[in-house]
Structure 1
């Protein structure tokens, strides 16, 4: 894999993914402009306004997980342009493992009401009973494509603050998991990069993936198959998968507030989208779970669906694919 300079916003595997996707070298200049080592004032205000954030964590076996933190607006706040304080403990992260100073962490803030989202990748500086502080390594915005709008509210007698709870191990996709995944219109995916000899680019990342309900297929062996649509062309997620094949997914059950968290191995099929006839897909991803955990009624919130993203009008679902599954 080609080596790149330490001050590039992209590591070697991200650049490899860009080449496989047919992206030319102009994306490097775009990345240098869009990816910053600090939070703009508008991003500082954005994180302060959020009541929940998604995290990418990495466990002791170098396996990523998607976690969530929640609290009243202001629970996450910038101390300055290079540091973010979060007054909450993660839910649905690596089972039995707490955050530790020095670890890499990916952060995604997403406002479902207006489709605004911002990403932050950094390093944990301190961890205490109340929460944690991290140093910003990369900060950038994401486009609103593929996000379905939802209104989040608090039922009477509840609070934004979420108390971490023990999950239940799931040994196989049961009926509830299959129904949740099959009906999902989005999920979150965490990956990380830890290539030896490239310490400058080590980090974790968490991203949103959206689609029409039915855009995720569960194969007979338990593998999940889902399309990859056109995005910002940075290929942070795909680059990390190219590097080490590790990934984690998190699904939210909006009827009960339960979470379904899984970590395992992923691969990118760069040619399969057209072969399977999945409308709008540029390529396909396959995910094989190693661990699956359910967190029953973990979130006390209530949600009301708004509208589907217009970007999904040109995309499909597996039941509409030209080539039948199998």
Structure 2
């Protein structure tokens, strides 16, 4: 496998003084899917996915399908059934780098996979570049069940947050972030905290604390190299999603106060977003104070 950490990640490791810790953990990142992951993946009915459009904007999508949605061809290849997300499909035809995040909210398990894709016989076939399990921190336990899904509605192309968007973001306990470095791959990651952990600064700017994690800093390292990123906020109660693309920067005030500032380019407001009903079971014991102001 190619070198584990690219220069952007290495720069962040040096900045934060965690180079040795990151080096000790790099063995967890493999160029194939681990046997435990191969056994669990076919049970997933959805996945979060990163794609890049022809202007270089980065997007996060929620992909789902019927039984057999996902199959494991080998430890190097996984296959997804026909994808209905037209934006995602359009993007991967221009740039075949994709990041996937498989997350089991109830079990607080998450697996990140990135690689390249091709479309074969109406299936999306991904060749794995990197695969690894993430720690369970900040995942809110939720269960879901299938429910009839009405027509998915999308209000695209807004360039600022309206009052409804702001309400969803301020109440969020979960969102997903996608980043990308050309030649190094796409990445999709989870962020969680108590409601209020994301602060709306104005109608085009939001920010959140960078909570302690596993010291790999894949997302922050990617942003150091390429500030383009995509966010996906899930309103689980109303089955609604906000899909944002824009740019982000990492700000270090001191050793204990670090945060990410996101500036919006476009937002898609998606109603009837998933074929599921969601129920919150409990918040993560790792959640920090809900006040994200700095």
Question: TM-score per shorter chain, which class?
Answer: over 0.9
Pair 12,171 (structure 1): closer, same or farther in 2 beyond 3 Å? closer
Per the alignment, residue 84 of structure 1 pairs with 78
Pair 26,151 (structure 1): closer, same or farther in 2 beyond 3 Å? closer
127, 136, 143: which is aligned to 2:119? 127
Offset, 1:120: 0.2
Q: Distance in 2 between matches of 1:141 and 1:180?
A: 29
Q: Distance in 1 between matches of 2:86 and 2:232?
A: 8
- 1:61-80 equivalences under 5 Å are 61-72=55-66, 74-80=68-74
Offset, 1:41: 1.6
Task: Tell me if 1:153 matches 2:137.
Answer: no
Aligned length: 294
Offset, 1:91: 3.1
Pair 128,257 (structure 1): closer, same or farther in 2 beyond 3 Å? farther
114, 117, 134: which is aligned to 2:107? 114
Pair 220,273 (structure 1): closer, same or farther in 2 beyond 3 Å? farther
Q: Distance in 2 between matches of 1:180 and 1:93?
A: 22
Pair 98,12 (structure 1): closer, same or farther in 2 beyond 3 Å? closer
Per the alignment, residue 184 of structure 1 pairs with 172
Q: Distance in 2 between matches of 1:272 and 1:170?
A: 35
Offset, 1:97: 2.6
Per the alignment, residue 245 of structure 1 pairs with 227
Offset, 1:23: 0.3
Task: Tell me if 1:215 matches 2:190.
Answer: no
The range that moved more, 169-178 or 285-294, is 169-178
Offset, 1:168: 2.8
Where does the alignment leave 5 or more consecutive residues of structure 2 unmatched? none
Map Cα deviations across residues 117-167 of structure 1 (whole Å, 9 max, x no partner): 10001011x215733001000000001110000110123xx37xx987654
Pair 92,146 (structure 1): closer, same or farther in 2 beyond 3 Å? farther
Offset, 1:54: 0.4
Offset, 1:88: 3.1
RMSD: 2.3
Conserved 8 A contact 2:54-2:94: no
Where does the alignment leave 5 or more consecutive residues of structure 1 unmatched? 1-5, 275-281
TM-score by length of 1: 0.84
Pair 80,164 (structure 1): closer, same or farther in 2 beyond 3 Å? farther
- 1:159-308 equivalences under 5 Å are 166-194=154-182, 199=183, 202-220=184-202, 222-271=204-253, 282-308=257-283
Map Cα deviations across residues 5-63 of structure 1 (whole Å, 9 max, x no partner): x83211010111111111033522421x1010111121112221111100010111122
Task: Tell me if 1:21 matches 2:13.
Answer: no
Q: Distance in 2 between matches of 1:225 and 1:257?
A: 23
Q: Distance in 2 between matches of 1:47 and 1:172?
A: 37
